[in-house]
Amino acid sequence: MNIKPIRTELEYKTALQSISAMFDNAPEVNTPQGDFFEVMCLLIEDYEKKHFPIEPPNPVEAIKFRMQQQGLTPKDLATAIGSEHRVLEILSYKRKVTLPMIRKLHKQFGIPLRSLVGV
């Protein structure tokens, strides 16, 4: 076993290649192969977080995504936002999402607060 931090793209690709076969047939936990797989996954995850970060969506995109997931219409969101017209203003970026709207959207539709706040 040759385990070391992943610092370059070549090392990243090599690390992925070294465990790719293990994804289909995961090794037993608490075995040398299982430990190798677990440590390499952690190292790969750390490298990906640093070099390929995934930012949360902006609030409007989070709302649109949830609408798509649950088959919601602007009328369905009116209870959380105020009116169908206001929903359309939010979805077209003409109006900002307020804190009371954020709370209701999170509570009623399960949209993550982090996505609604945009941090």
CATH 1.10.260.40 in the chain: give the residue spans.
59-117
Residues 6 or more apart whose Cβ sits within 8 Å of residue 86: 78, 95
* Tokens, residue 99: 């804190």
User: How many whole angstroms from its chain centre is CA 89?
Assistant: 26
Per residue of the chain (119 residues), what is the pLDDT tens digit?
Answer: 678 999 999 999 999 999 999 988 889 999 999 999 999 999 999 999 999 998 878 999 999 999 999 999 999 999 999 999 999 999 999 999 999 999 999 999 999 998 898 65
HEC assignment per residue over 65-108: HHHHHHCCCHHHHHHHHCCHHHHHHHHCCCCCCCHHHHHHHHHH
Q: What is the pTM of this model?
A: 0.60
Give me the CATH code for the 59-117 domain, please: 1.10.260.40
